[in-house]
Amino acid sequence: MNLEAIERALGLVRQEMGCADVRLEIGGRASEAPDTVIASTPSGFRLVATFDGVPENRASAHLRLRQLAGSFFDSGLTPPTPREDAEHHLAQRRLDDELCALSGRTGAAGATVIDAKSPVIWGCSEGRHPDEDVDTLLAVAELDALSRSRGIDLAVVSGLREDDRVAALSGFDGAERNRLESLVTRMASRPLRARQTRLVHARALFAIRKAWKEHKADESGFRRLVHGDGMGYFARSFAGIYLLIAYFPGSFSELRVEGAALHALPLIERHVLGLPPVDPIPPKGKVVKLNLPNS
């Protein structure tokens, strides 16, 4: 049993929760005291946070503790084992939380951080999917543009029954149809809003990567504010190669977004630069390049 690692993990939880004490429990009756919040670790232990008084927002505190319990401890029998990458997960969580707050302040569908040289998604307000990176979203953008050119909304189609999804895509042939069917099947388990957000995210990344390639190296920095048809975005570079992006399903207040982003950028930059290097997702197979229709 690595008591030092457990103590370090509990200290991080206490710091994040802002509570008086944190402990692990097993067996017996769980406390019902109003100053106590409890969540289960993947191995079944209770992670108990005790405050100096009743938490102002108990539901929010419980959600936060559940997230930390899942991020900091591995599954298994006994004892609960702190994850070796717990501090890395905490750094990622802080970045994602700040992007989520920025999204809320600006009314964006979401906010994300990428870099100009790799497919890594460094942070995302909508949470991270282990099998998804910039390249996979660029492929989604291609398929989305192809479908919209024929009046097909993939967010809607992916919510249909399987046979109806197949029928909706029957006008496509060969590799295009196979890729579209695979995409809508993967999206089917997500709620409609999440499907719509993913497509807006993909469109924004496609437009921004194209704009970045056209960006002149001697310009002082990369900054774009774009209102498009069914998609708008704000993008600003920082720390040389990184891009902060807020994406919208329609029009938005440029002044509001600019002000909120400038306010949040120093903290976002600190979180990003504090992250360890991330290896890109290894390719799973050949990607067939599709030409985007004019839209």
How much is the pLDDT for 139? 95
Contact partners, residue 267, CB within 8 Å, separation at least 6: 98
How much is the pLDDT for 159? 92
How much is the pLDDT for 263? 93
> Global pTM?
0.69
Q: What is the pLDDT of residues 233-271, one digit of tens each?
A: 999 999 888 999 999 998 899 999 999 999 999 999 999
* Assigned token pair, 119: 């497919």
How much is the pLDDT for 219? 63
| C-beta separation of 117 from 37 below 8 A | no
| Maximum pairwise Cα distance, the chain | 66
* Domain range summary for the chain, segments of one domain joined by +: 3-84, 92-273
How much is the pLDDT for 142? 95
Task: Decide if pLDDT at 146 tops 60.
Answer: yes
Q: What is the pLDDT of residues 61-118, one digit of tens each?
A: 898 898 888 877 776 545 566 566 666 777 788 899 899 999 999 999 999 999 988 9
Fold of 92-273: Beta-Lactamase (3.30.450)
